[in-house]
């Protein structure tokens, strides 16, 4: 029985190889698209859960704040001053967090200073080596 591969011409073997390669690439691209779609769906679900957690966190903070005001209201402060005290403490905390966040976002704090220093040092070293050589 003759070998079917040996009986084919080189041109038909090349055509078969191209067809098989093309099919393989097409299937890999299809697999990559499906996997990417699945990963994006998972990321969307994760993002939704994070948003839900943030909303629940805010509600929790509100409930705990009300509980703190109610607990302080049971003291000699009374309900109005209890709310004022808790409000002022929260306002100070918010202000401190805002200032820290704004300071962290200043352009000079975002610069990759170590990298810039390394590049400057490397450039200086190359310049010295060029002038010495």
3-state SS assignment for residue 3:
coil
The closest of 76, 53, 79, 75 to 66, measured between CA atoms, is 79
pTM above 0.75, yes or no: no
pLDDT value at residue 50 = 96
Q: Is the pLDDT of residue 101 over 80?
A: yes
Rounded CA separation 83/78 (Å): 9
Residue in the block written with tokens 């691209």: 29
Question: Binning pLDDT at 50, 70 and 90, where does residue 90 land?
Answer: very high
pLDDT band at 6 (very low <50, low <70, confident <90, very high): low
On whether the CB atoms of residues 86 and 69 are closer than 8 A, the answer is yes
Number of Cβ atoms within 10 Å of the Cβ of 77: 14
Q: Is the pLDDT of residue 119 over 80?
A: no
The string over 19-57, giving b where at least 16 C-beta atoms fall within 10 Å of a residue's C-beta and e elsewhere, is eeeeeeeeeeeeeeeeeeeeeeeeeeeeeeeeeeeeeee
Please indicate whether residue 109 or residue 54 has the higher confidence score (pLDDT).
Answer: 54
Long-range contacts of residues 61-70, Cβ cutoff 8 Å, at least 24 apart: 65/90
Average pLDDT (90-119) is 86
Question: How do residues 7-42 score in pLDDT, each as one tens digit?
Answer: 678 888 888 888 888 888 888 888 888 888 888 898
Beta strands in the chain (DSSP E): none
């Amino acid at each position: 029985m003759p070998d079917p591969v040996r009986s084919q011409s080189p041109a038909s073997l090349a055509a078969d190889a191209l067809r098989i390669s093309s099919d393989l690439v097409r299937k890999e691209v299809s697999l990559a698209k499906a996997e990417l779609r699945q990963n994006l769906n998972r990321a969307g679900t994760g993002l939704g859960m994070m948003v839900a957690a943030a909303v629940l966190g805010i509600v929790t903070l509100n409930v705990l704040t009300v509980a703190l005001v109610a607990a302080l209201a049971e003291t000699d402060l009374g309900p109005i001053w209890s709310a004022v005290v808790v409000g002022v403490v929260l306002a100070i905390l918010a202000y401190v967090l805002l200032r820290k966040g704004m300071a962290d976002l200043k352009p000079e704090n975002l610069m990759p200073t170590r990298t810039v220093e390394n590049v400057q040092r490397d450039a200086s070293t190359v310049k010295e080596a060029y002038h010495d050589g």
